[in-house]
Amino acid sequence: MITDALSIDVEDYFMASAFEPFVPRSDWDRKECRVLSSTYKILSILDEFETKATFFVLGWVGERRPKLVREIHARGHEVACHGYDHRLIYHQDAGEFRADVRKAKRLLEDACGAPVVGYRAPSFSVVRDTRWALDVLAEEGFLYDASVLPARHARGGMEGAHRFPHQLSRLAEFPMSTVRLFGKTIPFSGGGYFRLFPYPFTRWGIRACHREGNPSIVYLHPWEFDPGQPRLKARWMDRFRHTVNLHKTEEKFRRLLKDFRFGTVRGVLEDCLGRGAGEALAGTSKRRFFSENRLFVE
């Protein structure tokens, strides 16, 4: 039975990129904090199903809620980095990005007392023009990235990128899961896709990845378990993506945990690499799909 990777992007409802034009970061401290209760809800569900996950935490959250980061780590989950304050990479230069991830990594490591080796970019903003960010991550001590969406996306995406985990020259990449359907690459396994599509489609997509011999990766946010969150001003399509079927997330999540076996992103990558812990993620793979040393299919 293939173990899939489960990941949670720990950010509050008002931090989503859709609200950036309407909720400046200078207002974040004045907004109602709802990330604590929704993240603890996820932790309780994971305890119930005896499942471990990777929590990609914003440094901004870790700085203000270090106890939450410690609790995630204490319950046996992986703490990873989601950047400091959810700035899209293509709105930064290399120096700004380096300062962002360095600050976030330090805050999270101080909070949990353990190395932070995984990174996920806000809104899949590792795109063709920001591939330099992967070199910065390696230089800052990260061992893997989970930012690439190998399909079209409103704020990111990298069409033509490899669809499954593979080893780059300096770190491992675990792309967002997609399926090939009618000649198109379709994301299915998290966020708005998870809430919009009927659950059987998500289940079929994960099984399709398994039929290709690969694990999938699922991602969700704490605010997706909070249907009572305040409604904020945004463009109508962004507002729809953010709120669609929030009331169904928990029930679908429970079905997912019943149907599949999940682990941390790092653990699934290490299993795929056929190695042990730590720096093995930077090593040579025993599996063919990890031998690729580039992001794109030729």
Rounded-to-integer distance, Cα 88 and Cα 243, Å: 21
* 71 belongs to a structural domain: yes
Specify the number of domains making up the chain.
1
* 72 belongs to a structural domain: yes
Rounded-to-integer distance, Cα 154 and Cα 177, Å: 16
- For the record, the structure tokens of 207 come out as 């099984």
* 298 belongs to a structural domain: no
For 212-239, how does the pLDDT look when each residue is reduced to its tens digit (9 = 90+)? Answer: 999 999 999 999 999 999 998 888 888 8
Residue 189 in contact with residue 206, Cβ under 8 Å? yes
Which domain covers residue 248, as residue numbers?
3-290
* 152 belongs to a structural domain: yes
CATH of residue 35's domain is: 3.20.20.370
State residue 282's pLDDT score. Answer: 39
* 297 belongs to a structural domain: no
Residue 126 in contact with residue 150, Cβ under 8 Å? no
Residue 126 in contact with residue 156, Cβ under 8 Å? yes
Task: Please report how many Cα atoms fall inside a 13 Å half-sphere around the Cα of residue 23, on the Cβ side.
Answer: 21
* 295 belongs to a structural domain: no
- For the record, the structure tokens of 136 come out as 């910065």
Residue 84 in contact with residue 103, Cβ under 8 Å? yes
* 114 belongs to a structural domain: yes
The full 3-state SS of 21-52, as one line of letters, equals CCCCHHHHHHCCCCHHHHHHHHHHHHHHCCCC
Q: One digit per residue, pLDDT tens: the chain, 298 residues?
A: 899 999 999 999 999 988 988 999 999 999 999 999 999 999 999 999 999 999 999 999 999 999 999 999 999 999 999 999 999 999 999 999 999 999 999 999 999 999 999 999 999 999 999 999 999 999 999 999 999 999 877 777 888 899 999 999 899 999 999 999 888 899 999 999 999 999 999 999 999 999 999 999 999 999 999 999 999 888 888 888 899 999 999 999 999 999 999 999 999 999 987 643 334 443 433 333 333 445 654 3
* 296 belongs to a structural domain: no
